[in-house]
Chains A and B, each alone.
Chain A
Amino acid sequence: MNIAESIRIALKAIWANKVRSFLTMLGIIIGVGAVIIMVAIGNGASKNITEQIQGLGSNLLTVYAGYSYYEGEGVRVMRSAPTLSLDDAAALEQGEHIQAVAPLVNTYGEVVLGSGNTQGSIYGTTAAYLKVRNKEMQWGRFFTDQEVADYKRVAVVGSRVVESIMGSMDPGIIGRSIKIENVPFQVIGVLKGSSTGFYYEDDIILIPITAAQLRLTGSKEVQEINVQAVSAEAMQSAQEEITSLLRKAHKLAPDQGNDFEISNQEDILKAMEEATRTMTMLLGGIAAISLLVGGIGIMNIMLVSVTERTREIGIRKAIGARESNILGQFLIEAVILSVIGGGVGILFGWGGSALASRFLGFPAVVTVSSVVLAVTFSALIGIVFGVFPARKASVLNPIESLRYE
């Protein structure tokens, strides 16, 4: 008796009990679907975050003021001190691995235009910001270094700010005077909508750093300096250069620690990737458990099936079925159930991932590896959870089986 015959017999048995077979498969369908969807969401999130971080600017290093960490007993305590200034930013521009420098002061405040008003992040910066952070203009222009030097009250706003205070994306905002924390500024440009998906990227108001310090924060403090290295390869050299330039500018003795912190885009990326990978594994793991439960469902039904079909097994044995034939029949039945379940589960997972993409706002990425993994796993479950009932069926005593009612 060959495999084709065994498969035919198994398919007949599955077809003879359609509802029960479907309910059995449901466990595997949901399990496989869940694995695929969860892994797809994890992958999508990972890809999305990577793109977002890369979208923040290329070859970007960020220097934070006075953020020195105290480490001990597994805790990191962050202390801040106003240690960065515009002079530091000017000093950094001398570095040979440094292409552009954009110092930043940040405050949060109200923006008013006539009856329209909104809350937003207000950044004081310099003309280099546009380049350092990979930004593009929608309308108008960015402010110049001259305007920064002249404490000009001009502003470049994000698209969501325009929508909030004008009611729609209206180029008429250019030239209008808005009040930022009651200080009038003239709008000279609108930033192109962010591609990264971070909403707050579009909720910003950019003004010359000098005007921000004078009119809004009232201090000479600079919170962070964005530095663009000349190339991706130069990131490490640029980081070392920043350290030495700032230590010199701050006149730090060799035994003193840095009074600033440099954050590397790559480091953030790695940390985020690590986090999303962990999340993917967690989601996949939870889904795998449901797959396992589906497998136990198969075992349960197969055991019931063996009991129910004791007489059939007796008949088959009486007319010459070997134990291996019976074992094969029930095992193949279990494997077919889980493989069909796996197949339907893939479709379900695919559809579910597409649906999830709509709600998540980023595409869930179905990978071939997760499909292969889920199918292999479901076939394996068919074998593993099919062996016990099949074994039980194959060793039934034919005389007793024939008497079984």
Chain B
Amino acid sequence: MLVVITLQGITKIYRTGEVEVTALQGINLHIARGEFVAIMGPSGSGKSTMMNILGCLDTPTAGEYILDGVKVAQASRKALAAMRNKKLGFIFQGFNLLPRTTALENVELPLIYAGVKRKERREKAIEALKAVGLEERIRHKPQELSGGQQQRVAIARALVTGPSVILADEPTGNLDSRSSEDVMAIFQKLHEQGNTIVIVTHEPDIAAYTRRIVRFKDGRIEQDEALAKSEEAPA
């Protein structure tokens, strides 16, 4: 079993003036390659903070975070940007595509920052859009696409760099149930192809697609359960 994410004693404390808020308290977590994990918990449980740290958007106050063999807990902002670009694929609740920019260009964007040449970039982007079933829509701009299609473009964008982990923050939160099923079917497929996926959600229906559910409460892991279909035991 190859461990992709290792968290050891991750603690995050926010200071607002005199008040200290402990968002995460000594989190220990291992996620192996190919796992499909749901992070659940009520609001204020620390799951968003968890997501930001996993996504290299934020650094922990204390603890060790090893992503794909690289220690990122104390990394510089520049190093974090490189991690986000090469090792992570982000999917947001609000899609977060660039407006007035075609699906193809949106998907190419991470490759631009990775310094991939134009021709190769285009090929990879088209390939990623095919993987989410949007090869017919590559010249469309976000405002010309439905919510479900926009989220699939976002998935293609997360996928295109071949990341170690795909992180999705409430990916179906803005979608109707029909589109949610489409999107989750894609995640299912990506999981079967061997991608490591972490989804933050509060919907049990969505979590049910995954193989492992990690429940947060008050900044701690309350429960870590493997679902029946899981091929691998959680660490």
**Interface residues of A, Cβ cutoff 8 Å to B:** 1-2, 5, 9, 12, 16, 311-312, 314-325, 398-399, 402
Measured CA separation A9–B114 after assembly (Å): 15
Asked if B82 contacts A318 (CB within 8 A), the reply is: no
Chain B residue numbers with a CB within 8 Å of A323 are: 77-78, 81
Measured CA separation A365–B127 after assembly (Å): 59
Asked if B115 contacts A319 (CB within 8 A), the reply is: no
Asked if A322 contacts B98 (CB within 8 A), the reply is: no
Chain B residue numbers with a CB within 8 Å of A325 are: 113
If A318-B57, A318-B90, A399-B52 touch, whether A5 touches B112 (CB-CB below 8 Å) is yes
Asked if A320 contacts B100 (CB within 8 A), the reply is: no
Which of B81, B92, B113, B161 gathers the greatest number of chain A CB atoms within 10 Å?
B81
Asked if A318 contacts B84 (CB within 8 A), the reply is: yes
Measured CA separation A311–B86 after assembly (Å): 21
B157 at the interface (CB under 8 A from A): yes
Contacting residue for A399 out of B58, B78, B112, B161, CB 8 A: B58
The residue on B at minimum CB distance from A324 is B78
Asked if A317 contacts B92 (CB within 8 A), the reply is: no
- Chain A nearest CB from B87 CB (Å) reads 9
Within 8 A of A (CB), among B34-63: 52, 55, 57-58
Q: List 26 A-B contacts (CB under 8 A).
A: A1-B112, A1-B115, A2-B115, A9-B112, A12-B101, A16-B100, A315-B98, A316-B109, A318-B57, A318-B84, A318-B90, A318-B92, A318-B96, A319-B84, A319-B110, A319-B157, A320-B84, A320-B85, A321-B81, A321-B85, A321-B113, A322-B82, A322-B113, A323-B77, A398-B57, A402-B92
| Total residue contacts A-B, CB cutoff 8 A | 61
Measured CA separation A317–B77 after assembly (Å): 10
Measured CA separation A319–B108 after assembly (Å): 11
The residue on B at minimum CB distance from A315 is B96
The residue on B at minimum CB distance from A13 is B100
If A315-B98, A325-B113 touch, whether A320 touches B92 (CB-CB below 8 Å) is no
Tell me whether chain A's interface is mostly helix, strand or loop, or mixed: helix
- Chain A nearest CB from B160 CB (Å) reads 10
If A16-B100, A311-B96, A399-B52 touch, whether A319 touches B78 (CB-CB below 8 Å) is no
Chain A residue numbers with a CB within 8 Å of B157 are: 319
Asked if B96 contacts A402 (CB within 8 A), the reply is: yes
- Chain B nearest CB from A65 CB (Å) reads 80
- Given known contacts A320-B114, A399-B58, what 19 new A-B pairs fall within 8 Å (CB)? A5-B112, A9-B112, A12-B101, A312-B99, A315-B96, A316-B98, A317-B84, A318-B90, A319-B113, A320-B81, A320-B85, A320-B113, A320-B161, A321-B81, A322-B81, A322-B82, A323-B77, A398-B57, A402-B92
If A1-B112, A1-B115, A322-B113 touch, whether A312 touches B98 (CB-CB below 8 Å) is yes
Measured CA separation A317–B57 after assembly (Å): 9
The residue on B at minimum CB distance from A6 is B112
Chain A residue numbers with a CB within 8 Å of B101 are: 12
Chain B residue numbers with a CB within 8 Å of A320 are: 81-82, 84-86, 110, 113-114, 161
Measured CA separation A16–B102 after assembly (Å): 13
The residue on B at minimum CB distance from A12 is B101
- Chain B nearest CB from A216 CB (Å) reads 83
Chain B residue numbers with a CB within 8 Å of A315 are: 96-98
Chain B residue numbers with a CB within 8 Å of A316 are: 98, 109, 113
Measured CA separation A189–B81 after assembly (Å): 90
The residue on B at minimum CB distance from A319 is B110
**Interface residues of B, Cβ cutoff 8 Å to A:** 52, 55, 57-58, 77-78, 81-82, 84-86, 90, 92, 96-101, 109-110, 112-115, 157, 161
Asked if B81 contacts A317 (CB within 8 A), the reply is: yes
Measured CA separation A320–B55 after assembly (Å): 11
The residue on A at minimum CB distance from B52 is A399
Asked if B52 contacts A322 (CB within 8 A), the reply is: no
The residue on A at minimum CB distance from B84 is A320
Chain A residue numbers with a CB within 8 Å of B115 are: 1-2
Chain A residue numbers with a CB within 8 Å of B113 are: 1, 316, 319-322, 325
The residue on A at minimum CB distance from B160 is A319
Chain A residue numbers with a CB within 8 Å of B55 are: 318
- Chain B nearest CB from A86 CB (Å) reads 88
Measured CA separation A86–B113 after assembly (Å): 90
- Chain B nearest CB from A96 CB (Å) reads 82
The residue on B at minimum CB distance from A394 is B77
Chain A residue numbers with a CB within 8 Å of B81 are: 317, 320-323
Instruction: Please give me the 4 A-B residue pairs with the lowest Cβ-Cβ distance, nearest first.
Output: A320-B85, A322-B81, A319-B110, A320-B113
Measured CA separation A324–B76 after assembly (Å): 13
The residue on B at minimum CB distance from A318 is B90
Contacting residue for B78 out of A5, A312, A314, A322, CB 8 A: A322
Measured CA separation A314–B95 after assembly (Å): 12
Chain B residue numbers with a CB within 8 Å of A9 are: 112
Chain B residue numbers with a CB within 8 Å of A12 are: 101
Chain B residue numbers with a CB within 8 Å of A322 are: 78, 81-82, 113
Measured CA separation A322–B98 after assembly (Å): 17
Which of B55, B58, B112, B161 gathers the greatest number of chain A CB atoms within 10 Å?
B112
Chain A residue numbers with a CB within 8 Å of B96 are: 311, 314-315, 318, 402
Measured CA separation A300–B100 after assembly (Å): 23
Measured CA separation A56–B52 after assembly (Å): 83
Measured CA separation A398–B115 after assembly (Å): 21
Which of A12, A316, A318 gathers the greatest number of chain B CB atoms within 10 Å?
A318
Chain A residue numbers with a CB within 8 Å of B112 are: 1, 5, 9
Measured CA separation A244–B157 after assembly (Å): 95
Asked if A399 contacts B82 (CB within 8 A), the reply is: no
Asked if B109 contacts A319 (CB within 8 A), the reply is: yes
- Chain B nearest CB from A187 CB (Å) reads 80
- Chain A nearest CB from B120 CB (Å) reads 14
Chain B residue numbers with a CB within 8 Å of A319 are: 84-85, 90, 109-110, 113, 157
